[in-house]
Structure 1
Amino acid sequence: MSVARCPGSCGELIQGWILGSEKLISCPIDWYSTVEVRDGTPLPDERPLTRAMVSALLAHFGYPQALSSALRIEVDSTLPIAKGMASSTADIAATAVAAAHHLGHSLDESTLAALCVSLEPTDSTLFRRLTLFCHHHATTQIACAPAPHFDLLVLESPVFLRTADYHRLPRAAALTAHAEVLHQAWGKVQRACIEQDASLLGEAATLSAIASQSLLSKPGFATLMALVESCDLYGLNVAHSGSVVGLMLDQDRHDVEYLRWALTQKKLTNHWPKQHLLSAVSGGVQLST
C-alpha cells in the first residue's frame, strides 16, 4: 500500500501567451487530494482519470495492463470539481506517485508531468516550486526561486466549467493580443520570488487576471479590483479556465473579517457564496510515511 497527496490550486498566478505559446503558473494551496493505491479489487465508483493514470503508469514501466485490475485506488478529496482548483491534476498526480511507489518505482517531476499531460491539460501544482509550465505538452518547465509567503481568501462560485470545454473556446487572438502584458507578469513573478516580495507577485497575478477578462470574464470584477485597492491587498488572481477567484493577502496583516463583510455589503457573495481562508504552499506530490 502507498499513499500520496497533491495540493489543489486557487486558479493560476499567471496564464497566457508567454515565450511563444500558452503557459501557466498555478497557485498551490493547503487543500489536498490524498490517494491510496494498494492490492485489491477496483472500486465501482472510482474516478475514471485515476484508473487511466494507472494504465499510463503501467505502460510507462512496462507492466501488463492486466495488473490494473488487481490494484485498488481510493481518493480522499474535498476539492471542488470543475471550478479551476486543479482537483483533477491533484487526483492523477497523487495516483501516479502512489502507484509507482507501490510497484517499487519513483517518478521525477518531468516524467510525472509528461504522464499527466498525456491524459489532460495539467496544472503546475505537481512541481515543488512555482513553475512556468506548458500545460498541454509539458515541453516548458521553468522553475522559479522559492515563492514568498502569502494567504488567499478563496472565493468559490457555484458555476462549473470543465477545463476541456474552456480549451475548445476560440482563444488564439485574445491570447496573442495580451502577450506583452503576460511577458511583464512573468518577469514580475520571477522578481517576486527572488526578492521574496508578495506584493510584486500580487501585481503579476492581477495583470494576468485583467487580461483574462477578455477570455473568461468574472462577474463583479471591477468591484473586486476596487476592494483589493481599498484594502491594500497584494492583488487578485483568478482561475483562467474556471470560476474561482483569490484575494491575495497576509492574514496577520489584513482584516479578513472586514473583507468578508465587504464582500457581502457589495453583493459579491451573490457570485461567490463560499469563501475559504487558505495559505499558499509549495507544490509537489508528497508520499506519506
Structure 2
Amino acid sequence: MAEASCPASCGELIQGLINGSEKLISCPIDWYSTVEVKQGTAHQFDERPLMRRAVKATLKHLQIEETWHQKLSIRFHSTIPVAKGMASSTADIAATAVATARHFQQELNSQALAQICTSLEPSDSTFLHQLSLFDHKRGEIHQQFGWVPDLNILIFESATQLNTADYHQMSRQQWLKQNETRLTDAMHMFEQAMQTKNVALFGQACTLSALASQYILAKPGFEQFQALIEKFDLPGMVVAHSGTVVGLLCNPQQHDPDAIFSAVQLSVLQTHYPMQYMKKLIAGGVS
C-alpha cells in the first residue's frame, strides 16, 4: 500500500497570456486530497474517473504493463470543493500518480508528474514544491520561486460550478490578447515581490491578474471585494481564473479574519458566496 497527498488551490496568483502563451501560478493552500493505492479489487465508488486514468498514465510512464491497473484499488479522502477553480482534479490526479509510483517503489520527478497531469487535462501547479510559473496545457515549468509570503486566504466559495474543460472551450483569445500588457505588468510585479519579499507588491500583482480575469470570467461582487481590501487594508485578492472562487489575502499578524467575514455576511456578497473558509498559503507539493 502507498499513499500521497496533494494540496488544493484558491484559484491562481497569476494567470493569462505571458510571453506568448497561457501560463499560471497556482495559489496552493493547506487543504488536501489524499489517495491510497494498493493491490486489490477496484471499486468504482472508492475513486473518481480521473484517478483510474492517472494510474494508467503512471504505469505507462514507468513502463509497467497497463493491465496492472486492474489489480490495483484506489481509495481517497478529499473535501476540496469540486468544479470551483480549487484544483480538486489536479490534487486527485497528482496524488494518485505519486501513490501509484510509490506502490512500485518508484518516484516521479516534477517534470514527469507535470506531463502525467497535463496529459489528462489542463492542470494547476500545486503538485510542485515551489510557487511556479507553469504552462498548464503543455506541462512546462518555466520559473520557480523560493519565497512564500506568510498569508492566510479568506476563501469565498460560490454555489456556481464550472468545469475546467468547459472553461477552456470558451472563446477567450481576444480577451487574453487585450490583457497581455496587464499580465506582463502583473508578472513583473510578482517577480519583484519575490526578489524583495514584499507582501504589498505580491498582493498588488495578484489583484492586477484578478482584474484582468474580470474581462473573461467576471466574478459577482468584484467591486465589493475591492472595497473590503481598501477598508481593511488587505494586501489584495486572488480569483479562480477558470472557476468561481474568490480569495482575500490576509496578514495573520495584522488583520482580524472574523471582522472581514462579518463584513461579508452583512453585504450582498453573502448571497453570491455562501460558503466561507480560511486557509494558509503554502508552497505546494505532493507529500
* TM range, smaller chain: over 0.9
CA positional deviation for 1:123: 0.1
Aligned to 1:7: 7
Q: Is residue 173 of structure 2 the alignment partner of residue 156 of structure 1?
A: no
- Contact kept, 8 Å, 1:147 with 1:192, in 2: the verdict is no
Q: Name the CA distance, whole Å, in 2 between partners of 1:285 and 1:140.
A: 16
Tell me the equivalent position of 2:282.
Answer: 281
CA–CA separation in structure 2 for the residues paired with 1:44 and 1:86? 22
1:166 counterpart SS class: helix
After TM superposition, the structure 1 = structure 2 runs for residues 126-137 of structure 1, keeping only pairs within 5 Å, are 126-137=127-138
Give the distance between the partners of 1:264 and 1:135, measured in 2 at CA. 35
Query: 1:41 — aligned with what?
Result: 41
Any idea what the Cα deviations from partners look like across 1:136-193, whole Å, max 9, x if unmatched?
A: 0113431122222211100011110001000000000100111111111111222222
Give the whole-Å Cα distance in 2 for the aligned partners of 1:117 and 1:268.
Answer: 34
Partner Cα separation in structure 2 for residue 24 and residue 80 of structure 1: 20
- Asked if the contact 2:111/2:141 (under 8 Å) is kept, the reply is no
Letter in 1 for 2:280: S
Q: Distance in 2 between matches of 1:43 and 1:188?
A: 48
- Could you say what secondary structure the match of 1:262 adopts? helix
d(CA) in 1 for partners of 2:5, 2:140: 24
Does the 8 Å CA contact 2:11/2:246 hold for their aligned counterparts? yes
Give the AA of the match of 1:33. Answer: S
The equivalences for 1:67-82 within 5 A come to 67-82=68-83
The aligned counterpart of 1:198 is 199
Identity of aligned residues (%): 48
In the TM superposition, what is the alpha-carbon distance from 1:200 to its structure 2 partner? 1.2
Unpaired runs of 5+ in structure 1?
none
Mapping of residues 117-128 of structure 1, within 5 Å: 117-128=118-129
SS of 2:9's partner is: strand
What is the alpha-carbon distance in structure 2 between the residues aligned to residue 12 and residue 18 of structure 1?
Answer: 14
State the number of aligned residues. 286
TM normalised by structure 2 equals 0.98
**Counterpart of 1:84 in 2: which secondary structure?**
coil
Partner of 2:217: 216
| Runs of 5+ unmatched residues, structure 2 | none
TM-score of the pair, normalised by structure 1: 0.97
| Partner Cα distance (1:2, 1:189) in 2 | 37
Moved over 6 A (4+): none
**Aligned residue number for residue 25 of structure 2:** 25
Q: Distance in 2 between matches of 1:89 and 1:198?
A: 27
Contact 2:111 2:140 in 1 (8 A): no
